[in-house]
């Protein structure tokens, strides 16, 4: 247990040191890439974009600071206190907060796709002629 409070150096944690800062950089690069692709792919679905925002910020903030903390040799407990809540927030958004919202959005999309719009019964409105003009002398 005392090892958790030791400074995070290559001497104290030889197998974990390089892996932590490398994984931190890869996680940030991967989250930025996935976020940019999702912004283009899901631009018409605001609920899915909001889910990607939550995951992006939770992963980017928590793992983005890891390479800096590894280089300045903070204790391992501090790294864990930053990374674990970030992963927990991303998991909470993915599995608890957004599934019901995405289900509601999917129902709305299905309803719009398969239910025809209501007909408008307006008789006072002039109809377009085949040539594109408005017919006002006959009804």
Torsion of Cα atoms, 59 then 62 then 68 then 69, to 10°: -140
Residue 113: per-residue pLDDT: 83
Neighbouring CB atoms inside 10 A of 33's CB total 10
The rounded average pLDDT for each run of 10 residues, N- to C-terminus, in the chain (139 residues) is 87 90 94 94 92 95 93 92 95 95 90 76 62 58
Q: Which residues pair with 134 in a beta bridge?
A: 128
Which of 113, 102, 87, 89 is CA-nearest to residue 42?
A: 102
Token pair for residue 51?
């889910």
Residue 129: per-residue pLDDT: 63
Chain CA centroid to CA 19, Å: 25
Residue 111: per-residue pLDDT: 85
Q: Read off the pTM.
A: 0.73
Residue 127: per-residue pLDDT: 63
Residue 85: per-residue pLDDT: 96
Residue 101: per-residue pLDDT: 93
- Supply the angle between the helices 46-64 and 98-114 in degrees, to the nearest 10: 150
User: What is the residue extent of each domain of the chain?
Assistant: 2-114
Residue 112: per-residue pLDDT: 82
Q: Is 73 helix (H, G, I), strand (E, B) or coil?
A: coil
Residue 110: per-residue pLDDT: 87
Residue 29: per-residue pLDDT: 96
């Amino acid at each position: 247990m005392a090892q958790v409070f030791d400074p995070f150096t290559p001497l104290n944690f030889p197998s974990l040191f390089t892996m932590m800062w490398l994984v931190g950089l890869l996680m940030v690069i991967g989250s930025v890439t996935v976020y940019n692709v999702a912004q283009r792919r899901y631009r018409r679905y605001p609920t899915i974009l909001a889910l990607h925002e939550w995951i992006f910020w939770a992963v980017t903030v928590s793992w983005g600071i890891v390479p800096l903390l590894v280089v300045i040799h903070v204790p391992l407990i501090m790294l864990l206190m930053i990374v674990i809540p970030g992963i927990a927030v991303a998991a909470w958004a993915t599995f608890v907060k957004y599934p019901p919202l995405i289900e509601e959005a999917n129902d709305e999309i299905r309803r719009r796709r398969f239910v025809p719009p209501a007909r408008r019964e307006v008789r006072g409105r002039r109809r377009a002629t085949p040539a594109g003009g408005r017919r006002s002398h006959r009804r």
